Amino acid sequence: MTRGDVSALTVFRGRAGDHNERGMRGARLLGEELTRRTGSGSVSIGQSRPVLNSSWETELAAALPELRRLARRYEEVLSAGSVPVTAMNRCAAGLATLPVVARHRPDACVVWLDAHPDLNTPLTSESGYLGGMVLAGATGMWDSGLGTDLSVDNVVLGGARDVDPAERRMLDEGLVRSVPPGADLPERLRSAVAGRPVYVHLDCDVLEPGILSTDYRIPGGMTLEQLRAVSEVLADHELVGIELGEFEGGGSAEDESGQAGAAELVGTVEPLLRSLDDR
């Protein structure tokens, strides 16, 4: 799973604007499944703790210490020539990962598979949810303190369908490339990537509600079969890294169902993991 001599698997369970603790549990379960599938050791950052459910400023301040640890971890992995594979609780952790990826691989296309564009800023967000500001932060539309190195030209949204007005204006004006849901999504995504190296972000709410446990449930999403087809298309490109987030695990009494969901998700993106072994 690595090209260099640094273990590339990271499990991030630190605070990241969580609404509940289930994403922290989900990241742990995904990390365990990725370890089992790949046989790789992992580095864990953060731990489950009570959520704040507060303003984006409070959430960011609480998250920054561990997000900075995650950014340093990415610097280590990418500097070693390894390919990061990360299980994370919430999309907001991408505020730490994406700028580092962009600095090391400015040629890479970030494929953002998510029901939401996450292109809001503190001024445009109606909810003030930190996770809805990730791509806007990483591309310099606002300053999170974690870097603004990602070019909007290197972002491709896949499967976004719950779009706020300010985000809709950006998509309509073509400022960010978006590939909406639909039966031919995999091939349209191939065209949008246009042969570039890819860094894949997967928010599990890109799937149809009920397939996996998620915080947001937005109708009109992908099936697991479509996600596997997308994984196969993206596996045809140079994979710069992959991060899996927003999978919710249950409490100890529900771990068996959570483990099954984690295994199902990791099995679906197996083409991406296999592409790392093939290179």
- The domain spanning residue 213 has which CATH number? 3.40.800.10
Q: Which domain holds residue 254?
A: 7-278
Average the pLDDT over 122-143 and give the result: 97
Question: pTM here?
Answer: 0.96
Residue 106 has pLDDT above 60, yes or no: yes
**Nearest-angstrom CA–CA distance, 189 and 268:** 17
In a domain? residue 2:
no
Residue 92 has pLDDT above 80, yes or no: yes
Q: What is the pLDDT of residues 174-232, one digit of tens each?
A: 999 999 999 999 999 999 999 999 999 999 999 999 999 999 999 999 999 999 999 99
What is the predicted pLDDT for the residue at 236? 97
The interaxial angle of helices 94-104 and 56-79, nearest 10 deg, is 40
Q: What is the pLDDT of residues 31-55, one digit of tens each?
A: 999 999 998 899 999 998 899 999 9
- Domain count for the chain, please give it: 1
In a domain? residue 112:
yes
What is the predicted pLDDT for the residue at 257? 77
* Residue of 277 and 201 predicted with greater confidence: 201
Calculated CA dihedral for residues 175, 245, 224, 251, nearest 10 degrees: -150
Q: What is the pLDDT of residues 148-180, one digit of tens each?
A: 999 999 999 999 999 999 999 999 999 999 999
Computed over every residue of the chain, the mean pLDDT equals: 94
Q: What is the pLDDT of residues 8-19, one digit of tens each?
A: 999 999 999 999
What is the predicted pLDDT for the residue at 84? 97
In a domain? residue 40:
yes
What is the predicted pLDDT for the residue at 261? 95
Average the pLDDT over 239-264 and give the result: 85
